DNA sequence: TATGAATGAGTTTTCATTCAT
DNA sequence: AATGAATGAAAACTCATTCAT
């Protein structure tokens, strides 16, 4: 049967240009309509939507189609700029880190006296996680993926190093003044601080379900902020 | 007959060994006699493998095929016993909670004096997260999915309630004795404790990447345990 | 805008089972209907169709959908058994080689006297290419892809070696008898023979277009067969 | 502003250097003056790159983007000048034929005595295929596509006709002199000659893989050239 | 003449789930 | 109770081509 069945190559045409239907879609842009050709805006738009999707659904749970749909452009552009779903995910991580960097610059605790500086640092860390929930969720998601993608970011290590340096400086000055205990490891302390700040955001769903309290409620938020400051100060103070 | 081309499905994917390979006992039996159907064992085996897969890959990232492959049985059985991927995931959550309950019974702090009881409670919480990493990862995964599945578990709420009751009791007794501050919210305190215990497990990949330290290393583990006990006691103590 | 837009994870359901439409499609199978579950038949069927498609369209030109459509099964099975388009292509190459091997066994020229053996060998080579056009086309296609896939086949090298051995034996015996020239390289001669046999099949379209002759026409076929035998014998004969 | 994340489209694909980079001449001109639009040069450049891509990848395997990338111009220009991928492919075929035509004029065997003329003709055919590998590959590719495109070329038929005429003339003169056999069909002989010359180029990858010999190696090349001349002369000579 | 951004339709591949035995 | 084969829907990704400037 097979061997001699001389199948003339069935002629199949090459891709042709699609018919273009330039019909207006009814809901026209308002007066200050976006420019049609604005790559930076396109990228930003894609990244914005992708950030939401990835942080809401996880890397595997996110759908490229879902992202594209909520974008001002098409799925194709997403691949045009970011190569692949993973590439887009990485770009999202990068962007989220970039966004945060600016904020971080503002933290200037080196000039404050140690206890006040420590208070500021903790408050900053708290606010920072509280404000950047997408960031927190993405880090949690990264841990599900064994931090495979985030480790490739240059920004990643440096950022953590800088915060630890800040803590180290505070601890050293406090100890020199006899106000702080001298034997505290800065990284350990950073872990203590960020654990709380991170956890109440990352685990707010299970927390809410378990205790019937939404940790993002303003009253709870304030109380938590005070508490972690208090706990940290009590922890570092001599004796 | 394609004598020379016996094509097995997906010949290129490396097959990991099933989790519990039924070892041959040497004196083989005729086919019918040897194969002893053991539904309980089959279910246990499936759950075990599924726990690994879900906790390693997340709910969306997990693959039914991957689970079935490492099982002693087939994909069909997985559906036979657990209905669907989601059903299996729920069963995994349930199992993980069940496993833990036993351990939890052992914690009897009500008889200890408040400070010692608090120490025990924190240590218990620490050890418990440290030992049950799959549990921790699954909770983190649940939060990616807005705690959709875990809230359905009866075990879930009760467990958290019981731990909070324990803390409440300790705080009340401590306050009565004038040793603890009287204004501490037990749920807040639980959040403080569990944040640290949870975070160092759930985020160990990003932590490791950021600081070049593996938080599961024994030395670090001990230090962290001491630290959280210390921090909590300093936090609750009067004044 | 972005940062604080708390997007509640839009609930999206997991894949559900499709509705099964078990309607009869009208053109029922004849009495000797295929068994529904016959993996060997399924694979054979896929390979048969794939052979046609690849040999007609080339590797890049072939369409997985087109193959699946002409199959008794679905596209999914194609991936079930062959992993990928490339995997299927490789399996096709393998099968085509397997098919041919049998035929080749029949060639027993070692017992014939050199000249008669050489005639048989050339005729065999001619017939073999003439009959296996898919094979010829696939080899041509492989050369477009720099023989990337075929080199992985075990069957490939051994087959060529055996035919060269056969030629070598004939040449040696012929030279010993003083009938053949002693300085002929067997691989070169194989190239001379197979060039012609291959070319008139592989290039029949351009040949037809250039000269208005279809080289597969029976009359031309016979003349070509005689010609290559004649040319080879004249080439090898002393002096 | 995503200051730290300037995302270029497809940042991961390595870009090969364009085929002819317009080197800066040191003393730069103002923008308008420096850029000299040279349509002919642009077309030539595109064709050159396209020839490489098509002959290396086949018609379906070739990528318009890949061609444009290695060009000094953009994809749009490619469509501007050649309409479509197919149009470009046809232009490549045409160019390749055009390139060759010049060479072919030089062959003047009508003045030589038949045997010497035949030798020259074969050598010419050999050299011509050996030198124009792209041409050979493109013909092979055309046969994968049933010679759909090449048949439209005016140059195509005429070229083949003229070579056959040349052979016919040689055969006739040789037969008249009693040196050549009188019953040889010129088209068949052309097929014999070109088969070998074509095949060793078109199938050099599978040949190399099968026999561990690269047919384009100078030593092998010379031997092959001598062989085909020898074989043809022995074939045409009386008796 | 020239260009980078944009696109829609197609193409390959994956996945949870079910069927026939 | 158990199984390997089978499946449709959806997901990721690609490609030739065109638009707006």
Predicted pLDDT of residue B30: 42
Min mean pLDDT across A89-93, A150-154, B227-231, C133-137 is at A150-154
Predicted pLDDT of residue D195: 98
Predicted pLDDT of residue C131: 92
Q: What is the mean pLDDT of chain A?
A: 86
Residue B18 has pLDDT above 60, yes or no: no
- Cα separation, C222 vs C202, in Å, equals 17
Q: How many CB atoms lie within 10 A of CB B139?
A: 25
Q: How confident is the model at residue A194 (pLDDT cuts 50, 70, 90)?
A: very high
Predicted pLDDT of residue C2: 36
Write out the DSSP string of D197-213.
Answer: HHHHHHTHHHHHHHHS-
Strand partners, A237: A180
Report the percentage of chain A scoring pLDDT > 70: 82
Asked whether the beta carbons of D137 and D151 are under 8 A apart, the reply is no
A152-176 average pLDDT score: 89
C149-169 average pLDDT score: 86
Report the percentage of chain B scoring pLDDT > 90: 67
Q: How confident is the model at residue D9 (pLDDT cuts 50, 70, 90)?
A: low
- Cα separation, A123 vs D163, in Å, equals 89
User: pLDDT of B155-177, one tens digit each?
Assistant: 787 778 888 999 999 999 999 99
**Which nucleotide minimizes the distance between its C1' and the CA of B86?**
E16
Q: Whole-angstrom distance between the N-terminal and C-terminal Cα of chain A?
A: 92
Residue B16's contacts (CB-CB under 8 Å, 6 or more residues apart) are B69, B70
User: pLDDT of D205-225, one tens digit each?
Assistant: 999 999 999 999 999 999 999
Q: How confident is the model at residue B53 (pLDDT cuts 50, 70, 90)?
A: very high
Residue C94 has pLDDT above 70, yes or no: yes
**Which nucleotide minimizes the distance between its C1' and the CA of D8?**
E4
D158-173 average pLDDT score: 90
Helix axis angle, A186-202 to A133-144, nearest 10°: 100
C186-210 average pLDDT score: 96
Is A10's Cβ below 8 Å from some Cβ in C? yes
What's the CA–C1' distance between B142 and F10, in Å? 24
Helix axis angle, C133-144 to D133-144, nearest 10°: 140
Distance from CA of B86 to the nearest CA of C (A): 8
Residue A157 has pLDDT above 90, yes or no: no
Helix axis angle, B186-202 to A186-202, nearest 10°: 110
pTM equals 0.85
Q: How confident is the model at residue C104 (pLDDT cuts 50, 70, 90)?
A: low
Residue B8 has pLDDT above 60, yes or no: no
User: pLDDT of C20-69, one tens digit each?
Assistant: 443 344 444 443 444 567 889 999 999 999 999 999 999 999 999 999 99
- Cα separation, B202 vs B194, in Å, equals 11
Which of D6, D7, D61 to mutate against chain A (most A CBs within 10 Å)? D7
Is D7's Cβ below 8 Å from some Cβ in A? yes
Name which of C1, C9, C133 is nearest A57 (Cβ-Cβ): C9
- Cα separation, D198 vs D206, in Å, equals 14
- Cα separation, C66 vs C78, in Å, equals 12
**Nearest protein residue to the C1' atom of E5, measured from CA:** A37
D179-187 average pLDDT score: 97
Contacts of C94 in chain B (CB under 8 A): 4-5
Residue A3 burial by Cβ neighbours in a 10 Å radius (0-12, 13-18, 19+) = middle
- Contact flag, residue C35 CB and nucleic strand E, below 7 A: yes
Tell me which chain C residue has its CA closest to the CA of residue B10: C83
Asked whether the beta carbons of B47 and B99 are under 8 A apart, the reply is no
Q: How confident is the model at residue D37 (pLDDT cuts 50, 70, 90)?
A: low
Predicted pLDDT of residue A19: 43
Q: What is the mean pLDDT of chain D?
A: 85
Q: Which residue has the higher pLDDT, B26 or B218?
A: B218
- Cα separation, C96 vs C89, in Å, equals 11
Which of A44, A47, A56, A95 to mutate against chain C (most C CBs within 10 Å)? A56
C181-203 average pLDDT score: 97
The closest of A186, A161, A189 to A172, measured between CA atoms, is A186
Buried b (16+ CB within 10 A) or exposed e, D193-212: bbbbbbbbbbbbbbbbbbbe
Predicted pLDDT of residue A1: 35
Helix (H, G, I), strand (E, B) or coil at D18: coil
Torsion angle of C-alpha atoms B96, B97, B99, B103, degrees rounded to 10: 140
Residue B29's contacts (CB-CB under 8 Å, 6 or more residues apart) are none
D27-35 average pLDDT score: 41
- Cα separation, B204 vs B190, in Å, equals 21
Q: How confident is the model at residue A14 (pLDDT cuts 50, 70, 90)?
A: low
Q: How many CB atoms lie within 10 A of CB C66?
A: 18
Q: Which residue has the higher pLDDT, A167 or B24?
A: A167
Q: How confident is the model at residue B58 (pLDDT cuts 50, 70, 90)?
A: very high
Report the percentage of chain C scoring pLDDT > 90: 69
* Cα dihedral across residues A229, A235, A236, A239: positive or negative: positive
What number of H helices and E strands is found in chain A? 10, 0
Contacts of D10 in chain A (CB under 8 A): 80, 83
Asked whether the beta carbons of D183 and D236 are under 8 A apart, the reply is no
């Amino acid at each position: 049967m097979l061997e001699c069945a001389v199948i003339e190559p069935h002629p199949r045409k090459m891709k042709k240009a699609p018919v273009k239907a330039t019909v207006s879609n009814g809901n026209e842009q308002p007066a200050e309509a976006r420019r049609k050709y604005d790559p930076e805006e396109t990228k930003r738009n894609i990244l914005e939507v992708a950030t939401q999707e990835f942080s809401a659904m996880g890397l595997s749970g996110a759908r490229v189609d879902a992202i594209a749909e909520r974008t001002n452009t098409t799925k194709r552009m997403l691949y045009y700029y970011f190569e692949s779903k993973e590439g887009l995910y990485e770009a999202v991580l990068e962007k989220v880190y970039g966004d945060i960097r600016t904020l971080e610059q503002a933290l200037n605790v080196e000039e404050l006296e140690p206890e006040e500086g420590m208070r500021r640092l903790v408050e900053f860390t708290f606010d920072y996680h509280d404000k950047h929930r997408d960031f927190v969720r993405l880090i949690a998601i990264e841990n599900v993926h064994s931090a495979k993608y985030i480790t490739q970011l240059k920004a990643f290590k440096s950022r953590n190093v800088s915060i630890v340096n800040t803590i180290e400086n505070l601890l050293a000055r406090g100890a020199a003044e006899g106000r702080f205990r001298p034997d505290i490891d800065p990284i350990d302390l950073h872990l203590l601080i960020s654990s709380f700040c991170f956890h109440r955001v990352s685990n707010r769903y299970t927390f809410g379900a378990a205790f019937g309290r939404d940790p993002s409620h303003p009253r709870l938020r304030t109380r938590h902020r005070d508490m972690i400051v208090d706990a940290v100060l009590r922890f570092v103070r001599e004796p």
